[in-house]
Amino acid sequence: MTPEKSDHRDQLFEKLIGKAELKQSVYHQTFSSFKLLKKGIDKLTTQYHEYYDQNKPKYHVEFDARLRGDFEIELKFGGDILLFLMHTNVFEFSREHSVMKTKYIKDDPERSFCGMICIYNFLADSFKYNRVNDVGYMIGRIFINKDKHYFIEGKKELGFLFNNFGDYIFESESVETIVEAAIKYTLNFDLLTPPYLKMQEVTINEMKNTLDAISLKTGKRLGFKFQADVEENK
């Protein structure tokens, strides 16, 4: 092999190893943050049950969390479920994304590689009654980089509170604020009546399979634009 080819191969291998190590670093920081998220949710669950026992509400109101596999946390409260899902891959933002134009990224382009934890809201009854056609909504997604800095793309409280990438490090205090903001948003994101025209027809087979198995979808904004909640702020 000529010296030129050897140098070329060395550069290739160096780049391969460098990129792989960067992504491994991002993955481990994201997984560490996900485990911190689970601890924070467990702590909040304990605090809720202490409050519940002291105040003894008239009706039973659930607030429970469980791990569904290594990369999924379910938080169930009232009639809602929040699912926190960690993606196992590492992503980079597109060149057009606003975060790529910040000084924080320009000073170190490797900061733009991030792990991702998505937050979804579902109706608890969708799981309870196995309504497989029901829909959920992504209310936010957390991006975490190699330095454990993070920001959130999301709705209302989530998007407004955590949108300055270089200023926030994912730690215990972050978890508390993020989870509380997600719950607050969910509580204000109510189930609306589906449009009449979408519900006026039902087949004999659907009716025979009981009400809970009807293939008509249920969702908080079904038939409405999800952006409608933005209008509520105006």
Structure token pair of residue 151 = 């920001």
Mean pLDDT across 35-52: 97
So what's the pLDDT on residue 228? Answer: 37
Query: pTM here?
Result: 0.82
Give the start-to-end residue ranges of the domains of the chain.
Answer: 3-190
Residue tagged 């205090």 (tokens): 173
Mean pLDDT across 142-168: 83
Tens digit of pLDDT for each residue in 213-226?
545 566 655 443 33
Own/partner long-range contacts of 102-107 (Cβ < 8 Å, ≥24 apart): 102/165, 102/166, 103/166, 104/149, 104/165, 104/166, 105/165
So what's the pLDDT on residue 106? Answer: 94
Q: Which residues contact 49 (CB under 8 A, 6 or more apart)?
A: 63
**232 — pLDDT class (breaks 50, 70, 90):** very low
Element (H, E) at 16: helix 3-55
Q: Beta strand pairing status for 63-67 and 91-92? A: unpaired
Tens digit of pLDDT for each residue in 85-122?
999 999 999 999 989 999 999 999 999 999 999 999 99
Task: Tell me which of 33-37, 160-164, 186-190, 215-219 is least confident.
Answer: 215-219
Q: Beta strand pairing status for 150-154 and 80-86? A: unpaired
Shortest CA distance to 82 belongs to which of 147, 140, 31? 140
Mean pLDDT across 130-156: 88
